[in-house]
Amino acid sequence: MILQNPPDGPLPLPRRLELPVIEPTTESAEQIAALQREIRRLARERDAVVLAHNYQRPEVQDAADFVGDSLGLSRQAAQTPASVIVFAGVHFMAETAAILSPGKRVLLPDLRAGCSLAATITPEDVRRWKGEFPGYIAVGYVNTTAEVKAELDYCCTSGNVLDVIDAIPADKGILFLPDFFLGAHARRMRPDRRIEVWMGECHVHRGIRAETLNAARVRHPEADVLVHPECGCAGQLIYEMGQGDVEPEGLHITSTEGMIRAATENAAPKFIVATETGIMHRMRQMAPTKQFIAADPEAVCAYMKAITITGVRDSLTLDQHHITVPPEIAARARGAIDRMVALGR
Ligand code: SF4
């Protein structure tokens, strides 16, 4: 099968997770500052480190010791000398931290923080798929459960997917899961490789369409455009660029950390950002003189936003929710994660 362009309409997901309702932040600036001080004090007392993903609420990012993408946070989890890790992210990330730091206590402030993309594939699905393609190397995006990781040869993130593919012998076929758009991006970037792609999707990135992005480009013609390869628009944009329908000048398809770097290093004064809107908080902090515009203001992950500033505080005071991975699963998943963490060091 040659993937030219993602199909119209939602992909045929095997299953969907229930979306939590996004509660607005109701605390005043003073209350937030007091909660952040309390979190830092509790973290010191408990020998804890607070890790926050780029898509977290701004006040949660500001309370954290480290903010980053899933790869950066995996590295922090593996290296931290702290005995407790509070993971302000989603469940599979806390599982990854628990696998990398088996002697540490990993806390996830809210158990509703799942991931629609991780929910698209089960370990049984992976085993069945591997059976259909014997000899292929299974590469899984880090957005997978520990049980799925236990079936993989390699993990990867949006930032290192091409490094992982390049590290696999050229004569080997690859099963890429679970994100269709990232897999399609990898196929286009490495057209000489045999890559089969799982039809999974993240509902947030899937919702950012090329039409919406192009309309933002018309409104802000002077802006550079930063697109996450998981976005519904990314596959379509690459295709349209190939057809000459989209102007590639000033358009960057890159990982979340690549977006942050572009925001600080590129000379452009204005950027249209096509990923979850939470990332713009860090961009504004790192490049305060520049302007950032959401390609789609509706691109908000309800799973990420299930974590609140009071939830992080309660996680430390009530010691909740302890995330563990059975040792046998953890041992098998660890090899795939270690290979990812080691790449690009
Ligand atoms: S933005 Fe998408 S991939 Fe990321 S945690 Fe939310 S549902 Fe999962």
Return the ligand 1 atom nearest residue 179 CA: 3
Q: Do 250 and 183 fall into the same domain?
A: no
| Interval between CA 204 and ligand 1 midpoint (Å) | 7
Cα separation, 99 vs 78, whole angstroms:
9
**Residue 299 vs residues 37, 114, 252, 302, 304: alpha-carbon distances, Å:** 30, 16, 18, 10, 12
Q: Do 172 and 192 fall into the same domain?
A: yes
Calculate the CA dihedral of residues 85, 90, 92, 94 and round it to 10 degrees: 10
In a domain, 20, yes or no: no
Return the ligand 1 atom nearest residue 116 CA: 7
Q: Do 171 and 313 fall into the same domain?
A: no
Q: Do 192 and 249 fall into the same domain?
A: no
Q: Which residue's CA is the closest to the ligand 1 atom numbered 4? A: 115
Is the four-CA dihedral 312, 254, 123, 171 of positive or negative sign? negative
Q: Do 186 and 226 fall into the same domain?
A: no
CA triple 175-329-86, angle to 5 deg: 100
- Among 303, 305, 307, the mutation site with the greatest number of ligand 1 atoms within 8 A of its Cβ is 303
Domains of the chain: total: 3
In a domain, 5, yes or no: no
In a domain, 23, yes or no: no
| Interval between CA 117 and ligand 1 midpoint (Å) | 6
Q: Do 212 and 284 fall into the same domain?
A: yes
CATH of the domain at 262: 3.40.50.10800
Q: Do 69 and 100 fall into the same domain?
A: yes
Tens-level pLDDT at each residue, the chain (345 residues): 334 344 444 444 445 678 899 999 999 999 999 999 999 999 999 999 999 999 999 999 999 999 998 878 988 998 999 999 999 999 999 999 999 999 999 999 999 999 999 999 999 999 999 999 999 999 998 899 999 999 999 999 877 889 999 999 999 999 999 998 889 889 989 999 999 999 998 889 888 888 888 899 999 999 999 999 877 788 677 767 766 767 788 899 888 889 999 999 999 999 999 999 999 999 999 999 999 999 999 999 999 999 999 999 999 999 999 999 999 999 999 999 888 877 755
Name the pairing type of β-strands 270-274 and 224-227: parallel
Q: Which residue's CA is the closest to the ligand 1 atom numbered 8? A: 115
| Interval between CA 75 and ligand 1 midpoint (Å) | 19
Cα separation, 338 vs 336, whole angstroms:
6
Residues 6+ positions from 345 with CB-CB distance below 8 Å: none
Report the pLDDT value the prediction gives residue 343, as an integer from 0 to 100.
Answer: 73
- Among 121, 205, 256, 305, the mutation site with the greatest number of ligand 1 atoms within 8 A of its Cβ is 205
| Interval between CA 51 and ligand 1 midpoint (Å) | 17
Which of 128, 139, 129 is closest to 169 using CA atoms?
A: 139
Instruction: Provide residues with CB under 6 Å of ligand 1.
Output: 55, 90, 115-117, 143, 202, 204-205, 276, 301, 303-304
Order the strands of the 48-53 sheet from edge to edge: 66-68, 48-53, 84-88, 105-107
Return the ligand 1 atom nearest residue 118 CA: 8
| Interval between CA 190 and ligand 1 midpoint (Å) | 25
In a domain, 245, yes or no: yes
In a domain, 17, yes or no: no
Q: Do 82 and 102 fall into the same domain?
A: yes
In a domain, 19, yes or no: no
Q: Which of helix, strand or coil describes residue 274?
A: strand
Q: Do 97 and 173 fall into the same domain?
A: no
Q: Do 103 and 171 fall into the same domain?
A: no
What angle in degrees, to the nearest 10, is found between the helix axes of 256-265 and 279-286?
A: 30
| Interval between CA 142 and ligand 1 midpoint (Å) | 11
In a domain, 62, yes or no: yes
Q: Do 282 and 308 fall into the same domain?
A: no
Q: Tell me the whole-structure pTM to 2 decimals.
A: 0.91
Q: Which residue's CA is the closest to the ligand 1 atom numbered 2? A: 202
In a domain, 18, yes or no: no
| Interval between CA 136 and ligand 1 midpoint (Å) | 27
Q: Which residue's CA is the closest to the ligand 1 atom numbered 6? A: 301
- Residue 313 structural domain: 29-113+304-326
Q: Do 97 and 147 fall into the same domain?
A: no
Cα separation, 172 vs 165, whole angstroms:
10
